[in-house]
Structure 1
């Protein structure tokens, strides 16, 4: 850093790149390879499945607009952690951090292996890709993205733009092809929609499971709150980007699913592990490579966006003294490079024994529980601090609707069909107390920590960031 320069994250992401970030993290591999989840839990009822996809878009929009108040009130990166600590206390914020420390690297590892498998599959026709080259390539991909992140937010933003445009082109191709097939009016294409509601109607538990499947495809809409400290004018851009991105994503998802159903029967979709590949085999077999490019670019951009945004959580947790000081330092490109490295180390460890990646299944349902807690914190903070400056105030019906939906999605499967994964998830969460009590509550310190911090600062050329309270009161408001 130059002498006298402000040491903080730089606000360089505007409306366009903010929308791109949302596209890149929401549209992942799911829409290409796993839309059968919604069909499965709607008893192969085509009409209900399409309604679920549309309803998931509405629920995601409501939740995202409710969540946006966090980023506009506290315009810092990692705002959700700072908000939880301020509204519900340190221990709830630490549990949120504790889950993220392991679930996020598990997701990075899983998607890294999936991407490596797609890239290497053409070199191993007719057989499975060997584990060793797949794991080595996944490690190389993750660490290359780490180097890109270390170069700063501008480079990350342009990388996201390129990869997002590629996968959007592939999705538009699938959508337009499906529309053309329906307009041409071929009997086998239209018949599935004429009798869309003839199949069995799912019950409440199945609907909850179908919602979880659909909402997974929309997940990531909170990324702008995670990177609010790098957004220009977050009080306006967060809401504008959310409305723009989720509206377009909803339209694309509906058109893509209609295209799938126009070409494939529900049973064919259920029997396919890669629906988009099966769809392309039926429509234009010679262009399978188009789907491979679409899936690869989707996973690439989603991986990069997750790594970028999740490192900001460690950054703000360090500023709030719930992680070592070194994680709140920045390099010359204003990147919390130590936080990025920690994410990559954890993800690399989880790649080696790939069965550990099942951890993501144990903690996945907690995301909606966390959202419900954040809505409770939002209401509590409005009562405790009514005069707090809030550039954007979400309407209370949206807050209560988000709370109701989150608890419905969490409690319905847990009560009606409890599994060992729910028990493992709660045991994992409460095991965080073993670390919170000595280091978070009693603030135990060790002289070796100071020596390691000095060594890493010199090695990585990083400097302490400005105080978080000074940053909140800046132009982001």
Structure 2
């Protein structure tokens, strides 16, 4: 072991443009191609209610994202959500946030990898189901290729995100423009669908809550910039600007795409379709179905890559704070927490083996809004607890309280109106984290054994501990930190 003069830390190389691209990448995934069916279903096939919920989801997401942005601007370091929860509500709550992410994120990655592999392999098996073995092998190959890309550093990831985002935006732009043209030049019954938009049955409160959850799934991922705040240039300025720009454009695209779907397909036809975008293209230009497959594939792969990138930073921060093994906070020569990326891909690869992952995702999916409610509580607590803490961007209190109210509505309404067994399963899953928190975090058992493993893996992966473990302090629009002590590096 020797001392290197060169600093090993996450680098601030992501500006406004690429920050906006990251938001586009993770928000516009497979959701807009599949969730319109779910929103329409829980809207009781009421076209007006369905479009209103899409617009309301955009407003709710914007308010939540702007409230959430205060976390990343006050503590501009990677994994800011985790660090914020630990500082405001204590290590116990922070660990449960981490515990849920340790399993829900790899499960979501595995499910989307299988979905992507299915889209790619389906043309080779026309008229029949794709065999599970080649689909799973391709999903594994995609996962580990993304792992290699992430290990190459931030610049390679941002360029990949830019290209894949351009592809899916082109496809969605084509769907939007074509639908509007068909609507303007269309038949009378197509226009009547919008003229009598609110004539169908009106859904009850529990159905509206379910419809919101479906729509908000398509907007999910807006917190990614807070997770990677340690690699953003001028985070106090760029996080709010990127959020407003990206979510405004996404909301506009989503509304136009939904109008385009309804201009071509009836609500019942949308309900009977497994892939709305494919059915839409089959009705409009059947020879261009490959374009929809390309759009869906690029949407899924860019969202996958962004998830791997941002979650590895969260695990890196938790490792620095002592709630995950130290090896996960080490960086390679490209400033990537490669050990965290590898662990995530191992978990996701194991979860690819079973075929039904959608059920697992349903169990843990609604916990996102539980976590967001906790963050808003922590935000209010920290304002009273540390009123003099520098906050370059401060969320308005109506936004914060509105986000908390929406969180309570989305979590409690389905439980009260239509309780399901999976609600109990989620609670049991969260409480099972105690079995790990008490011995390994609270009492720090087995630390000597873990140190030996850390030394071996550090040599194997050629990684070094980071220099940026000191707390970041935000002052005005800039980022400062205490000068780090000289770290011990691997030769």
TM-score (norm 2): 0.95
Cα distance per residue 1:402-436 (max 9 Å; x no partner): 00001100000011111111100000000000000
Q: For residue 127 of structure 2, what is the aligned residue in structure 1?
A: 126
Q: CA–CA distance in 1 between the matches of 2:181 and 2:441?
A: 59
Structure 2 SS opposite 1:294: helix
Q: For residue 268 of structure 1, what is the aligned residue in structure 2?
A: 269
Q: Does 1:476 align with 2:479?
A: yes
Q: CA–CA distance in 1 between the matches of 2:115 and 2:356?
A: 13
Cα distance per residue 1:60-98 (max 9 Å; x no partner): 000000000000000011000000000000000000000
Q: For residue 488 of structure 2, what is the aligned residue in structure 1?
A: none
Q: 1:243 to 1:42 in 2, by over 3 A?
A: same
Q: 1:356 to 1:215 in 2, by over 3 A?
A: closer
Q: CA–CA distance in 1 between the matches of 2:186 and 2:352?
A: 47
Q: Does 1:394 align with 2:395?
A: yes
Asked if the contact 1:272–1:278 (Cα under 8 Å) also holds between the matched residues in 2, the reply is: yes
Q: CA–CA distance in 2 between the matches of 1:377 and 1:470?
A: 18
Cα distance per residue 1:136-172 (max 9 Å; x no partner): 0000000000000000011000000000000000000
Structure 2 SS opposite 1:476: strand
Q: CA–CA distance in 1 between the matches of 2:365 and 2:378?
A: 21
Q: 1:356 to 1:252 in 2, by over 3 A?
A: closer
Asked if the contact 1:76–1:472 (Cα under 8 Å) also holds between the matched residues in 2, the reply is: no
Q: For residue 209 of structure 1, what is the aligned residue in structure 2?
A: 210
Asked if the contact 1:229–1:476 (Cα under 8 Å) also holds between the matched residues in 2, the reply is: no
RMSD: 1.3
1:26-45 aligned at under 5 Å gives the runs 26-45=27-46
Shift of 1:361: 1.0
Cα distance per residue 1:47-72 (max 9 Å; x no partner): 01000000000000000000000000
Structure 2 SS opposite 1:354: coil
Shift of 1:6: 1.6
Instruction: Structure 2: state its 5+ residue gaps.
Output: 481-491
1:51-90 aligned at under 5 Å gives the runs 51-90=52-91
Q: CA–CA distance in 1 between the matches of 2:370 and 2:33?
A: 27
1:263-412 aligned at under 5 Å gives the runs 263-356=264-357, 358-412=359-413
TM-score (norm 1): 0.98
Shift of 1:32: 1.2
Q: CA–CA distance in 1 between the matches of 2:111 and 2:186?
A: 41
1:8-27 aligned at under 5 Å gives the runs 8-27=9-28
Q: For residue 237 of structure 2, what is the aligned residue in structure 1?
A: 236
Q: CA–CA distance in 2 between the matches of 1:136 and 1:349?
A: 12
Asked if the contact 2:79–2:228 (Cα under 8 Å) also holds between the matched residues in 1, the reply is: yes
Structure 2 SS opposite 1:408: helix
Asked if the contact 1:232–1:476 (Cα under 8 Å) also holds between the matched residues in 2, the reply is: no
Cα distance per residue 1:236-264 (max 9 Å; x no partner): 00000000000000000000000000000
Shift of 1:186: 2.4
Q: For residue 112 of structure 2, what is the aligned residue in structure 1?
A: 111
Moved over 6 A (4+): none
Asked if the contact 2:111–2:357 (Cα under 8 Å) also holds between the matched residues in 1, the reply is: no
Shift of 1:468: 2.7
Q: For residue 96 of structure 1, what is the aligned residue in structure 2?
A: 97
Q: 1:193 to 1:337 in 2, by over 3 A?
A: same
Structure 2 SS opposite 1:415: helix
Structure 1 SS opposite 2:479: coil
Shift of 1:448: 2.4
Q: For residue 444 of structure 1, what is the aligned residue in structure 2?
A: 445
